[in-house]
Chain A
Amino acid sequence: MNPSVATTKASSRFRIPPGALQQLLAFASLIVLVVVFSLSSGNFLQFSNIVGILMSTAVIGVLALGSTFVIITGGIDLSVGTVMTLSAVMTGVFITFWGMPVAVGVVGGVLTGALCGFLSGVFVSKLKIPPFIATLAMMMVAKGLALVISGAKPIYFTDPHATNFSRISLGSLLGIPFAVLVFFGAAIVGGLVLSKTIVGRYNFALGSNEEATRLSGVNVNFWKIVIYTITGTFTGLAGVLIASRLNSANPALGQGYELEAIAAVVIGGTSLSGGKGTIVGTVIGALIMSVLTNGLRILSVPQEWQTVVVGLVILLAVYTDILRRRKSA
């Protein structure tokens, strides 16, 4: 981690465009971490461990991809952890309670997330409830609904017609689990939406200066709802992934996941004050989090200290962002 501070100073002399710097820094930190862990443990750089790291990035990673969108608007979505749980539970309801085909259940699960995101968007834009509060409320509503709907019991995907459900996460192609492929696929789609479409353009505009965006004739409320819905859609996808990996939908799951997702977004260089951020950054941020925890686990670092280290990394990431903005200002 120290090396990345050093690079901040060095690289500013080389005049790297400010936008790319944070991402480069994050990427450099990731490489440094991988090198350090590979040197200190022979077990780290094995194929199975790399796959394990990618696998443990998948769920939080997809949540983080979604969170990137709202965070770029300068908003936040605190509900992604529990909406993920609700989506998982609804997938279970569709497939095992109502006996729907797996594909329909999966779509239903994703749509559950999208619907929650849509509602959060309406609360934030039309009702003018601050995102923090609106999504906090959504977080509690989703948590409660997940418990009510499931009867406070896990739902298992053990119906004969649901045997393929766990393959969505656990099936593999050339040794790469589908969950990992879904994560990268979602990242590509997210990246394209953010950089190539009108949604992406308005997303950045909203985060940079909402008032100016409104004055230039953009229907700000409409696009905010769209963006929260996108976040919700990713969240629903994460719900399907987690349910499929555990082959069950547990209503007690997912608490605290929103904070890990936000941490990944922030480490990836997306600014919590909005207007700036990339999907690639978020992917790197999520990878840094899981490489770090995996590496520290393999080195048998006591878990209490692992938590301390992750906290420090978040501090460092935000601090380098502040440094960068001070310089570019």
Chain B
Amino acid sequence: MRKTFGKFVAGASALALLGSLLAACGTNASQNASGGAGEAGGDGGKMYIPIVSKGFQHQFWQAVKQGAEKAAAELNVEITFEGPESESQVDKQIEMLQVALDKKPDAIGFAALDSKASAPLLEQAKANDIPVVAFDSGVESDIPVATAATDNIAAAGLAADKMAELIGGEGEIAMIVHDQTSRTGVDRRDGFKNRIEEKYPNIKIVDIQYGGGDHLKSTDLAKAIMQAHPNLKGFFGANEGSAIGVLNAVKEMNMQGKITIIGYDSGKQQIDAIKNGEMAGAITQNPIGIGYETVKAAVAAAKGETVEPNIDTGFFYYDKSNIDDEEIKAVLYE
């Protein structure tokens, strides 16, 4: 057994060695990048703009990244794109922002998970004359020179109007929202809820539950809501995971066609469900546009040009009738 243990130790040390080698390469690369960017500052070389996002593994962020890369290629600047694994990792994001600032970039793109927590670093950026462009949900601070974001309140309001129209202006509806603390969660919930309460007195929102954007949890939540409210006529899912959860629940309870589902965001399953009529429609943001506008504004700000402070990157309601329009196709991401 001692022999095998020795082998493991050897293996482990080899792994550690490999790890440190990789780490060394990593440092070199980033040093090069920051070095290059430093020189680039004024003499026409490549600008360096790090983008610190709220995440990277969801399709939405991948689409934002795609837009940012498109702008970077067009404007001939270098970007990096990173974000924490989950949207609760505020501290990790702060660390990423810190590292990004330490590289002395020409400008920075930032989607804050927590505006207050990032305030000191934003002050630091300001002190070092690094323009900050906020994206996605904005930063409650006057330091960002611009914010490229979807007006989630208005977008959810549009979803409420569509819901009212589809269920004939009366009846019980429910909502599954991803969470009750993030800006997008709160805005979409309130945007939808307030519009219903203000404009449609005969529609009653019987329940609002939070599924953390987890597909399986949202499915179970939606099933319980349907169980508790057998007369439910409509269901709003406030992000991709929530909407898919609602869709699964309706399918598992064989209520297709009896409950009107309106979703948010896109993704293959939502697109398919809308095409085959299981989901009435959904709101889509323009994540590619968010990424694109962020980099564009950052470059302009770094050059000292004036930028529009509020860049509305827009939203659309898509359903069976317009899902194949070029305008919609461009903003859907699978």
Contact = CB atoms under 8 A, between A and B. Distances in A.
A294 B225 CA distance: 9
Interface string A293-309: 11001111001100000
Interface residues on B, range: 35 or more
B253 A251 contact: no
Interface string A278-318: 00000000000010011001111001100000000000000
Contacts of A147: 57
Interface stretch (A45-53, A203-211, A266-274): A45-53
B228 A300 contact: yes
Given A154-B59, A170-B252, A253-B215, A298 B1 contact: no
A251 B230 CA distance: 33
Nearest to B215: A246
B228 A246 contact: no
Contact of B4 (A41, A126, A299): A126
A252 interface: yes
A246 B253 contact: no
B12 A127 contact: yes
Interface string B202-216: 000011011000111
A246 B4 contact: no
A163 B96 CA distance: 42
B248 A294 contact: no
Contacts of A153: 59, 62
Contact of A297 (B12, B86, B225, B272): B225
Given A127-B12, A250-B215, A253-B215, A52 B220 contact: yes
A52 B215 CA distance: 15
B318 interface: no
A52 B227 contact: yes
Contacts of A187: none
Contacts of A154: 59, 267-269
Contacts of A246: 215-216, 219, 244, 248
B221 interface: yes
B65 to A, nearest CB: 10
Contacts of B4: 126
Contacts of B268: 154, 156, 158
A147 B206 CA distance: 37
Contacts of B230: 43
A274 B65 CA distance: 47
A43 B227 contact: yes
Contacts of A46: 227
Interface residues of A, number: 40
B56 interface: yes
A145 interface: no
A248 B221 CA distance: 19
Contacts of A56: 219-220, 223
A294 B68 CA distance: 42
Contacts of B85: 143
B58 interface: yes
Interface string A44-85: 101011001001100100000000000000000000000000
Interface of A: 41, 43-44, 46, 48-49, 52, 55-56, 59, 126-127, 143, 147, 152-154, 156, 158, 170, 221, 242, 245-248, 250-253, 255, 290, 293-294, 297-300, 303-304
Given A43-B230, A126-B1, 16 more contacts: A43-B228, A44-B227, A48-B227, A52-B252, A56-B220, A127-B5, A127-B8, A143-B85, A154-B267, A246-B244, A248-B269, A250-B215, A290-B220, A293-B224, A297-B225, A303-B209
Interface of B: 1, 4-5, 8, 12, 56-59, 62, 85-86, 180, 206-207, 209-210, 214-216, 219-221, 223-225, 227-228, 230, 244, 248, 252-253, 267-269, 272
25 contacts: A41-B228, A43-B230, A48-B227, A48-B253, A49-B224, A52-B224, A52-B253, A55-B223, A55-B252, A56-B220, A127-B12, A153-B59, A154-B59, A156-B269, A158-B272, A170-B252, A252-B58, A253-B214, A255-B86, A294-B224, A297-B225, A299-B228, A300-B207, A303-B180, A304-B180
